[in-house]
């Protein structure tokens, strides 16, 4: 029994991180219609920055700095890569985000080197033992941190003027323009928020798995799968998709570790065959919705 | 007509002389081919190996060369690829006329090069010899010789060394669990560990496998915890080994009953996991940390000579095991030529195959006609058991006090 509880804990921790990545992808998709393949690279760069500065700064200021840098990264990427290409097709914008991911990968290699880097947990407290399973402090921080980030993001979208503007633009961009909402501002803010969410994910994940210049691609693929699994375009779906993906991955690692990636992605494909619209009905999950 | 015939006869006479190329043993120089990976996936290790060859070359020539002749290394890049390694062996032998080939430095290119060495009948000594049937068994290469033991021998020697230590400390384990990465050499190490466990009557309670790119090993370590072994043996490369260690830490499992039979550079591993490795035992060659080899260790003199030779060329720098391996290949060739009394390929090949208990900077070597690489016993005798104390490594080998 304790073994299965341990896998559940592992799955929830992984799922929390994937939910953050998937939420960033979904936010960008809702406002731009583009799947951002660079989201995983945002997480990777943030994680490596966190690790690099860990010994030089106290934890809270470091987290705030990394989040601020993440927001800045998302905003800069929007200005120099997405905004100038706004008139292009969605397919072209996707290619641009793939190129961005590669550029960030190369820059990370130059800046941080080719070795995976590691850092200690946020606090050096002993793990909790619950019903035969063990919950490390970092696992708790990952889950709590992800929950807080998601709740704050959803509340901001719901209760702030800016959040309402973003939602309006996502629902009907032409009408929102007529109401004075600037589409440029919407994209700028959305990608900034996506960068911030990625920074939180990277900082939470870095002490658990380490981070290397190659980590971005893996995270991007898993985040995209999670977003589609949850129902592409649905914010709630991003969360459900991320959590489900994390649990599936933990199950696969337990069952057949050598083929865990194939099994996880295979199960996701199977779920989508059974329910093509995703776990919640997303706005853009239908084939041919373009 | 007469002129044409004369010209033709002259051409026929001159052609063989032109086609000869240079001999590897011209006058005062002995030419030796050296294949390293200067580019491609193996470049970082290749860089270390190249330094070992540089140290060897200076050491050989400072001591008067081989058989009184100056040594010249013809160094080429195999780009970490089998096909290029094959081409380079041919070039070195057919165009440069080398007397022997050292390298390549990658396991797969080394196996590929060995088959060419057989067809060209030229001695080849490579550092990595853990892959394929080239180095041992019924398909063993006739002309290629390796410096590294097979993966199985390494694993076998690792657990055997640990059991010696455990017996000396009154803590012989009755059971072990094995955790192994599924890619590359670690599965072979794990297989050797299993063999050693069976030979010693130690139960293997569980074996947990994982792929190289795994991000979370808590499921596997949870299974290990459920099995409750006396010792956990880990065989992995650096990144997944770090993940395994972090999983142990997250699950609050002890580290002082962990034996690492892994392919890792100890300093890189400790940089990544820090105190989480406290109490762990590591199997390491003397060449992994030459400064810490005890004076009575069998290879102490060879390691000291190697370190001195290396620091003559690279002052203040500590050599890696890869540099020690490549350095040893050069010294082995020197000694084989000396034993053979010439650079005749057949004589050198026979002299190499006769090595029995040969002591080099990297390993002890005893070849047999069907095994052209060190045995498990050779590897065990070439190694030390270290324990990480939290601040450094302590040699705890039962036989090196």
Fold of B29-149+299-375: Rossmann fold (3.40.50)
CB-CB under 8 Å, A253 with B223: no
Rounded to whole angstroms, the Cα distance separating B71 from B32 reads 7
Asked whether residue B243 carries a pLDDT value surpassing 80, the answer given is yes
Q: How many CB atoms lie within 10 A of CB B278?
A: 16
The yes-or-no verdict on residue A169 having pLDDT over 90 is no
Contact B326, B125 (CB under 8 A): no
Range of the domain at A197: 2-215
pLDDT for res B26: 64
Write down the pLDDT at residue B2: 54
Same fold, B29-149+299-375 and B152-289+382-395: yes
Is the pLDDT reported for residue A174 higher than 60?
yes
Q: What are the domain boundaries of chain B?
A: 29-149+299-375, 152-289+382-395
B152-289+382-395: CATH superfamily? Response regulator (3.40.50.2300)
Per-residue pLDDT reduced to its tens digit, B110-147:
999 999 999 999 999 999 877 768 999 999 999 999 99
Q: Does B214 touch chain A (CB under 8 A)?
A: yes
On whether residue A282 sits in a domain, the answer given is: no
Q: Which ipTM did the prediction report? A: 0.76
Cβ(B124)–Cβ(B89) below 8 Å: yes
Nearest residue of chain B to residue A121 (CA atoms): B250
d(CA B373, CA B128): 9
Quick one: closest CA in B to A115, which residue?
B239
- Whether A156 maps to a domain, the answer reads yes
pLDDT tens column, B36-56: 999 998 888 899 999 999 999
Residue range A54-97, pLDDT digits in tens: 999 999 999 999 999 999 999 999 999 888 887 888 888 889 99
pTM: 0.78
CA–CA gap between residue B246 and residue A210 (Å, rounded): 10
Distance between A134 CA and the closest CA of chain B, angstroms: 5
Residue A103 lies in a domain: yes
Kindly state the average pLDDT of the residues B327-350: 96
Q: How far is CA B243 from the centre of its chain?
A: 25
B6: confidence class by pLDDT, cuts 50, 70, 90: low
Question: Chain A residues with CB-CB distance to B under 8 A?
Answer: 2-3, 6-7, 9-10, 13-14, 115-118, 120, 126-127, 129, 134, 136, 138-139, 208-210, 212, 218, 249-250, 253-254, 257-261
- pLDDT, position B3: 53
Distance from CA of A257 to the nearest CA of B (A): 5
Chain A residues within 8 A of B249 when measuring between CB atoms? 136
> Distance, in angstroms, between A227 CA and closest chain B CA?
20
A276 belongs to a structural domain = no
Rounded distance between C-alpha atoms, residue A57 and residue A50, angstroms:
10
Q: In the predicted model, is pLDDT for residue B354 greater than 90?
A: yes
User: How far is it, in rounded angstroms, from Cα A24 to Cα A224?
Assistant: 10
| B223, B239, B252: residue with CB nearest A116 | B239
Nearest CA in chain B to A137: B250
Q: Do B219 and A210 touch (CB under 8 A)?
A: no
Q: Which positions ≥6 away from B351 have C-beta within 8 Å? A: B335, B336, B337, B339, B340
- Which of A118, A258, A261 is the closest to B209 by Cβ? A258
Long-range (24+ apart) CB contacts under 8 A made by A53-59 are: A54/A119, A54/A120, A59/A122
**Rounded to an integer, what distance in angstroms lies between the CA atom of residue B67 and that of residue B304?**
24
Of A2, A138, A250, the CB nearest to B219: A250
Give me the number of domains chain A comprises: 1
**Which residues of chain B neighbour A118 with C-beta distances below 8 Å?**
242, 246, 272-273
Of A24-38, A57-71, B101-115, the least confident: A24-38
């Amino acid at each position: 029994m304790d073994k299965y509880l341990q896998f559940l804990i592992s799955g929830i921790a992984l799922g929390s991180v994937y939910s953050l990545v998937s939420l960033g992808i979904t936010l960008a998709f809702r406002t731009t219609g583009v799947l951002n393949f660079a989201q995983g690279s945002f997480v990777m760069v943030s994680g490596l920055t966190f690790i690099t500065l860990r010994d030089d700064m106290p934890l809270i200021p470091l987290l705030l700095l990394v989040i601020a840098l993440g927001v800045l990264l998302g905003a800069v990427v929007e200005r120099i890569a997405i905004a100038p290409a706004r008139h292009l097709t969605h397919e072209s914008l996707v290619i641009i985000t793939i190129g961005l991911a590669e550029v960030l990968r190369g820059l990370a290699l130059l800046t941080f080197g080719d070795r995976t880097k590691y850092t200690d947990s946020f606090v050096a407290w002993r793990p909790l033992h619950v019903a035969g399973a063990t919950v490390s402090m970092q696992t708790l921080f990952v889950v709590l941190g992800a929950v807080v980030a998601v709740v704050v993001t959803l509340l901001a979208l719901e209760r702030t003027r800016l959040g309402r503007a973003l939602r309006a633009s996502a629902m009907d961009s032409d009408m929102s323009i007529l109401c004075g909402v600037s589409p440029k501002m919407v994209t700028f803010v959305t990608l900034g928020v996506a960068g911030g969410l990625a920074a939180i994910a990277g900082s939470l994940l870095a002490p658990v798995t380490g981070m290397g210049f190659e980590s971005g691609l893996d995270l991007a693929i898993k985040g995209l799968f999670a977003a589609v699994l949850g129902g592409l375009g649905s914010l709630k779906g991003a969360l459900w998709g991320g959590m489900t993906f994390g649990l599936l991955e933990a199950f696969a690692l337990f069952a057949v570790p050598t083929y865990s990636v194939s099994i996880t992605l295979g199960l996701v494909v199977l779920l989508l065959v059974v329910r093509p619209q995703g776990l919640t009905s997303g706005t853009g999950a239908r084939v041919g919705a373009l | 007509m007469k002129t044409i015939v004369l010209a033709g006869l002259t051409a026929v006479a001159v052609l063989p002389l032109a086609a000869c190329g240079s001999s590897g043993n011209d006058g005062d120089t002995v030419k030796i081919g050296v294949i390293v990976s200067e580019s491609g996936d193996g470049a970082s290790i290749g860089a270390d190996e190249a330094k070992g060859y540089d140290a060897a070359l200076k050491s050989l020539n400072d001591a008067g060369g081989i058989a009184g002749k100056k040594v010249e290394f013809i160094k080429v890049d195999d780009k970490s690829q089998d096909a290029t390694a094959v081409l380079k062996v041919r070039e070195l032998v057919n165009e440069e006329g080398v007397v022997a080939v050292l390298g390549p430095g990658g396991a797969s290119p080394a196996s590929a090069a060995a088959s060419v060495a057989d067809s060209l009948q030229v001695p080849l000594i490579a550092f990595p010899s853990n892959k394929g049937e080239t180095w041992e068994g019924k398909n063993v290469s006739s002309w290629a010789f390796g410096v590294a033991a097979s993966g199985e021998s390494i694993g076998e020697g690792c657990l055997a060394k640990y059991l010696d230590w455990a017996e000396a400390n009154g803590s012989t384990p009755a059971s072990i669990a094995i955790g192994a990465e599924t890619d590359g050499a670690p599965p072979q190490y794990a297989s050797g560990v299993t063999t050693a466990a069976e030979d010693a009557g130690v139960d293997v309670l569980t074996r947990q496998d994982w792929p190289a790119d795994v991000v979370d090993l808590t499921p596997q370590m949870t299974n290990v915890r459920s099995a409750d072994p006396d010792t956990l043996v880990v065989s992995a490369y650096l990144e997944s080994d770090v993940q395994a260690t972090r999983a142990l830490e997250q699950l609050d499992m002890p580290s002082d009953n962990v034996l690492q039979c892994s392919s890792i550079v100890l300093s890189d591993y400790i940089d990544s996991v820090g105190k989480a490795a406290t109490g762990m035992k590591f199997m390491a060659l003397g060449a992994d940390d030459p400064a810490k080899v005890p004076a009575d260790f069998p290879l102490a003199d060879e390691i000291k000579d190697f370190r001195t030779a290396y620091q003559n060329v690279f002052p203040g720098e500590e050599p890696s095991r890869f540099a020690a391996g490549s350095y040893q290949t050069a010294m082995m060739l020197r000694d084989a030529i000396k034993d053979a009394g010439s650079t005749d390929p057949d004589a050198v090949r026979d002299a190499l195959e006769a090595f029995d208990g040969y002591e080099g900077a990297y390993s002890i070597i005893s070849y047999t006609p069907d095994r052209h690489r060190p045995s498990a016993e050779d590897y065990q005798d070439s190694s030390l058991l270290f324990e990480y104390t939290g601040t450094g490594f302590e040699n705890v080998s039962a036989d090196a006090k």
